A and B are shown apart, each in its own frame.
Chain A
């Protein structure tokens, strides 16, 4: 059980972060289909940065500091890359779906081009094993190696990553900002009724640039966290549709942070089950329950999308999608 929950949390954190990234863009009025692409860029920049630092002789004792720095760098990279989207959507008033698709095509192409030419292989790996550098064990928190911490303690303090805490913290802070501050209200206004927002003196263009940049920063960070915690920090121009899964989480969560957290956990669980259904021993009694049921991993993989489709079918009338998303704001139009 502990292992299952630990793994689920590892999948959930990047998932809800990237879903929140989608929320910030869409609430400001820009459809961000490029989440997947931005994640790919974030994973790549993060891996490269960590590798350079490791090769430059960064001390393993200060590994957590390196992780923090890497998060900042990947957020910056994601925000920068997302500027391509906001420029096309805000300044050029171009179709946002096409812009997002272009970035989704561009990101893996650039990453694979550079990785192949610089490292002569298809995958950029960290210099050292990611878990051995970055994973936190209960001994790191001052507990004995054999001490029993119970389920919650194990979940919070053993075999975890700093990124989990930071990710959750950022999630809560940004969700509060979106709903409880003046800035959040203004941002949401731009996604609902930009003309009204403009009429009371809010700069819609600036808000949309900001919303998309926050979105990019979150997605870039999420991409790096995903790669670090689930695939040993390797960057190969691919996050296996995780960005689109986040999009599904956002839609199922009805663009609301609390719902998204719940849905994210559910989909994270499914993702985790699909990743290790063959070897998962839920109760620790030596019975591989899921393996015995014998449902293919691809079914678990498929389920989130099927569920989202079904939910869409039943709730389409109650959808809280931002009203003005996808429509370029034109000052002259009233």
Chain B
């Protein structure tokens, strides 16, 4: 009996992974086909589309062009790009965790962009506002990180409270809080002393936190001049912690119970309202922590005119979580994959006539297809089911015949 459950679990897990891989495969193929179609329509050489497709696949293993050999593309280990991938993956893993955790409680956290923005604003403001000649820089870093988490948790709370106590769909309230955050952040920075007025060529950016001496420790991860730092390790720690909390603690069990059946959870004596609010607050904190890990790197600027657009990193938490089927550990890999695609995109615009938006198209197609996961899984198990049903039928028929005799 035990062996049977283990096998079905393994089967289900495999099916999920295969379904995700199938979405990725189809997304990438769609991107490739699009490149060729565009090349045909605009009368560009087909070889350029082929090069573009290879860059999309090659991603961080692209080492540029060899201009001595007919400017052919070369591939190999590119330490800088790998570092950049880890750095870009950091916030994606965190927003992915945020969406995944809320999903476990049956909530769709489309509010990740707003929470991410609040985290961004708080981390930058705290990191720049506290004078590092008075307070040690590492302490400022920690304060900024915690402030960001608090802001994100607060922002996540709002949809949670609406859902728990007023039964308003969290998607609707999340959309509202997203756009409130978008305008609030612009309002916060508008005219403040955190804006970069030093480099006059650049308007609309905040100061880098490194100007105040606040930067995440590199821990030797900045190989090849890439941007990776300890933030990536922190993200992995968060993922591991989320895995333990969700799967190994009573609290995690309660969250999952509320997700699978709210009424049953209440009937079993769980405080489902509290759990919903807590789940959204934690999700908000995770998104905001991702933002802090990204912007406290020290050397990145934040474009603070956010009133017109929400950060893509927030929305991309959704594909990260969906590709990982909401498994925290899976989020590490899907986050890295998303970062890989983003790097592919920027390489594409550097080396070919195509541009980075192909990566966004592929991601969007993957999100679209990942909604079909159930369908794919059904497709995979359809054949097997009929067989088992038939064999059971045969068994019962045999049993009936036995009885008759």
CB of A158 within 8 Å of the partner chain: no
Give the residue name and chain of the A residue nearest to B179 (CB).
Answer: A305
Contact A97 B183 (CB under 8 A): no
Query: Do B308 and A241 have beta carbons less than 8 Å apart?
Result: yes
Given contacts A88-B372, A92-B371, A116-B355, contact A298 B360 (CB under 8 A): no
Question: A117, B38: Cβ atoms under 8 Å?
Answer: yes
Query: Which of B162, B173, B315 is the one whose CB lies under 8 Å from A105?
Result: B315
Q: For A109, list chain B residues within 8 Å (CB).
A: 357-358, 360-361, 363-364
Is A101 positioned at the interface, with any CB of B under 8 Å from its CB? yes
5 contacts between A and B (CB under 8 A): A241-B309, A298-B183, A312-B168, A313-B166, A313-B168
Q: Could you tell me the distance between the alpha carbons of A31 and B110 in the complex, rounded to whole angstroms? A: 14
B56 lies within 8 A of chain A by Cβ: no
Interface size on B, residues (CB 8 A): 51
Provide the main secondary structure of the chain B interface.
Answer: helix
Least Cβ–Cβ distance between A309 and chain B, in angstroms: 5
How many angstroms from the CA of A33 to the CA of B171 in the assembled complex?
Answer: 9
Task: Name the A residues within 8 Å of B307 (CB-CB).
Answer: 298, 301
Pairwise interchain contact A313-B162, C-beta atoms closer than 8 A = yes
Interface size grouping (class) on chain A = 35 or more
**Which chain B positions have C-beta within 8 A of A105?**
315, 319, 360, 363-364, 367
B42 at interface (Cβ–Cβ under 8 A)?
yes
Q: How far is the CA of A301 from the CA of B375 in the complex (A)?
A: 41
Interface pairs A-B: 6 shortest CB-CB: A109-B360, A106-B364, A102-B368, A94-B371, A105-B364, A113-B357
Give chain A residues whose Cβ lies under 8 Å from the Cβ of B172. Answer: 247, 251, 312
**Looking at A114, A248, A305, A306, which has the most chain B CB atoms within 10 Å of its CB?**
A305
Query: 1/0 per residue B162-193: CB within 8 Å of A?
Result: 10001111011101111110111011001000
Binding site for A on B (CB under 8 A): 34, 38, 42, 108, 110, 158, 162, 166-169, 171-173, 175-180, 182-184, 186-187, 190, 307-310, 315, 318-319, 322, 353-355, 357-358, 360-361, 363-365, 367-368, 370-372, 374-375
Provide the bound-state CA to CA distance between A97 and B321, in Å.
Answer: 14
Contact A240 B38 (CB under 8 A): no
Whether the Cβ atoms of A106 and B375 lie closer than 8 Å is: no
Minimum CB–CB distance for A270 against chain B, Å: 12
Q: Which residue of B lies closest to A98 (CB)?
A: B371
> Which A residues, 288 to 334, have Cβ-Cβ distances below 8 Å to chain B?
296, 298-299, 301-302, 305-306, 308-309, 312-313, 316-317, 319, 321
As a 0/1 sequence over residues 85 to 116 of chain A, the CB contacts with chain B under 8 angstroms (1 = contact) are: 00010001111011101111110111011101
- The answer to whether A244 has its CB under 8 Å from any CB of chain B is yes
| Additional A-B contacts beyond A92-B372, A94-B371 (11; CB < 8 A) | A94-B374, A99-B368, A101-B367, A113-B354, A117-B38, A118-B42, A240-B308, A296-B187, A298-B186, A309-B162, A309-B173
Taking the complex as formed, is A192 at the interface, i.e. its CB lies under 8 A from any CB of chain B?
no
Is A53 an interface position by the 8 A CB rule? no
Chain A: minimal CB distance from B94 (Å) = 18
Whether the pair A98, B187 counts as a contact (CB closer than 8 A) is no
Complex-state Cα separation, A158 to B371, whole angstroms: 48
In the assembled complex, A84 has its CB within 8 A of some CB on chain B? yes
Which A residue sits closest to B184, measured CB to CB?
Answer: A302
A101 touches B358 (CB 8 A): no
Q: In the complex, are the beta carbons of B365 and A106 less than 8 A apart?
A: yes
Instruction: Identify the interface centre among B162, B183, B319: most chain A CB within 10 Å of its CB.
Output: B183
Min CB distance B369 to A, Å, is: 8
Q: How far is the CB of A184 from chain B (nearest CB, A)?
A: 24
Please indicate the chain B residues that have their CB under 8 angstroms from the CB of A102 in the complex: 364-365, 367-368, 371
